[in-house]
Amino acid sequence: MTELRRTPLYDLHIELGARMVPFAGWEMPVQYPMGVLGEHLHTRKAAGLFDVSHMGQVILRGEDAAQALERLVPADIVGLARGRQRYGLFTNDEGGILDDLMVANKGDHLLLVVNAACAEQDIAHMTATGLAPEVVTDRALLALQGPGAEAALAALVPDAANLRFMDAVDLTWEGDRLWVSRSGYTGEDGFEISIHESRAPDFARALLAQEGVAPIGLGARDSLRLEAGLPLYGHDMDTGVTPAQAGLGWSIPKVRRAGGEREGGFPGAGAILPELGKSSRARRGLRPEGRAPIREGTPVFAEAEGGEPVGRVTSGGFGPSVGAPVAMASLPAEIPEGATVYAELRGKRLPAVIAPMPFVKPTYKR
């Protein structure tokens, strides 16, 4: 077995009583003594601190870095202003999704944050197409999320309060440079902060010392993003799912679409662009009746009895803030919102209503 990697905050997690689990090749905290339910609700009402150092941080340099990245990503990277960040997708020649990522324009370089499980393939993908990605190996990455996030971070780094959603700038804490973006994956206002690995434990302790800040594990991170209607790579999207089918067509701007100034030019454009707004399948929100959650892989039927499955659940669980089960499923796009479908759980079909997403209203500071 391959030895699991540890983040710079491993010892702090143990000190805080975290239950550690293998995740994407790393040993990560799934929960702390507060428990997943408590951590989820705490993040929604105060502030949660997440260790996301397992994510890949990558730098692209050069005057043509933005143009070169656009040959792999169907987003407007050329038009991304300095100090701003954007969501994007790596796609394959068939139109499937290789990974999703964040791209920040830091002026003299681009900073990418990619999924931990896909980091190695993403690096190889960029390298094979002529890019020269620099993998950042000496920095931790923290996410501070929730309505109390701004006050907590601003107590240490006052200029953080000036940031708006998707701003990405360098700030300073006790002489150390922080790479800060106002973003996250919980549906809450918050920040992602990259800091040198040697200072990460002290910085995390300083944040946890702020009123209302608590450590949060992977369990609550997943339930928070599910309530926010945010897809997870390897679950709600993969190489067999196109951007339109994943509900991510919005990430492809007009300039890269048919008739746009920089139309296509990325892998799978011939399959992806004609499908935008016309996909026969889509990622849909589900609100199951009752209290039983429906999990990933559960088949979904159009009728209470008989027939073949029309789709499957891609993410599902109990939504603590909603107070009920919530799920996302790959289903025919033609099924109208408000219609009832049936998820088969242990041989019994349970009704679920096609519901709008997100399940909780996002609180991004724009």
Q: What is the pLDDT of residues 56-78, one digit of tens each?
A: 999 999 999 999 999 999 999 99
| Nearest CA among 87, 91, 84, 138 for reference residue 118 | 91
pLDDT tens-digit readout, 215-225: 999 999 999 99
* pLDDT, position 148: 98
Q: CA of 206: how far to CAs of 103, 139, 256, in Å?
A: 28, 17, 43
Q: Mind listing the pLDDT tens digit for each residue in 91-110? A: 999 999 999 999 999 999 99
- Average pLDDT, integer, range 259-275: 98
pLDDT category at 256 given cuts 50, 70, 90 is very high
Q: CATH 3.30.1360.120 in the chain, residues?
A: 10-56+137-227
- 310-324 pLDDT, tens per residue? 999 999 999 999 999
**Residues 17-37, mean pLDDT to the nearest whole number:** 98
| Residue 1 pLDDT level (bands cut at 50, 70, 90) | low
- Residues 33-39: contacts with CB under 8 Å, at least 24 apart: 34/214, 36/217, 36/219, 36/220, 36/223, 37/320, 39/214, 39/215, 39/216, 39/217, 39/219, 39/220
Long-range contacts of the stretch 21-26 (C-beta < 8 A, 24+)? 21/218, 23/54, 23/116, 23/218, 24/54, 24/115, 24/116, 24/117, 25/54, 25/116, 25/117, 26/54, 26/116
Predicted confidence (pLDDT) at residue 2 exceeds the cutoff of 90: no
Please enumerate, by residue number, every residue annotated as part of a binding site. 192
Into which CATH architecture does domain 280-360 fall?
Answer: Beta Barrel (2.40)
The pLDDT > 90 percentage for the chain reads 99
pLDDT beyond 70 at 176:
yes
What residues are designated binding site for substrate?
Answer: 192
Q: Name the CATH topology of 10-56+137-227.
A: Gyrase A; domain 2 (3.30.1360)
Mean of pLDDT values over 141-157: 98
The residues of the chain that CATH labels 2.40.30.110 are 280-360
